[in-house]
Each structure stands twice: as structure tokens, then as C-alpha cells.
Amino acid sequence: MAKIKTLTFAIIHFGVAFSVTFLLTGSWVLGGLIAMIEPAINTLAYFFHEKAWEAFHKRRPRAPLSP
């Protein structure tokens, strides 16, 4: 599940990064560069964040259900 969420997050993030940079600078080149670099690094961080979150939930003791 973390891989699919990471991929969809990356697609959205690339689009947002390009759009914001292009709107601020008017440069297709700068928009493309920032859209490739920043989201790629952020996507890797997100993937490892998801993995850590899954591990945290697996180790967390569950409260007993009340009758």
C-alpha cells in the first residue's frame, strides 16, 4: 500500500511543484527543474515516513475491546 500511495503522492506533487514554480517565475525550464528535484526528494521521504508509520502501528499495543 505504501508504494501506491507514494506513486500517487509523487504525481500530484510533481504537478503542484511545476505549477507553482511556473506561475511564480514564468519559466518552463525552472518549473521543470524544481518539479523534478524537490518532489523526488520529498517522495522518498514520504515513502520512508509511511514505512515508519506502518512499523509504529504494528508495534503499538492495542487496547482491549470493552464488552
pLDDT digits (tens, 9 = 90+) for 14-66: 899 899 999 999 999 999 999 889 878 888 888 898 899 989 888 877 666 66
Best CA proximity match to 42, nearest among 66, 19, 10, 18: 10
What pLDDT is attached to residue 42?
83
State in Å, rounded, how far the first CA of the chain is from the last one.
32
Q: Is the pTM of this model over 0.85?
A: no
- Domain locations along the chain: 2-57
Query: Residue 6's pLDDT is what?
Result: 77
pLDDT above 90 (res 67):
no
Secondary structure letter of residue 60 according to DSSP: S
Contacts of 43 (CB under 8 A, 6+ apart): 6, 9, 10, 13
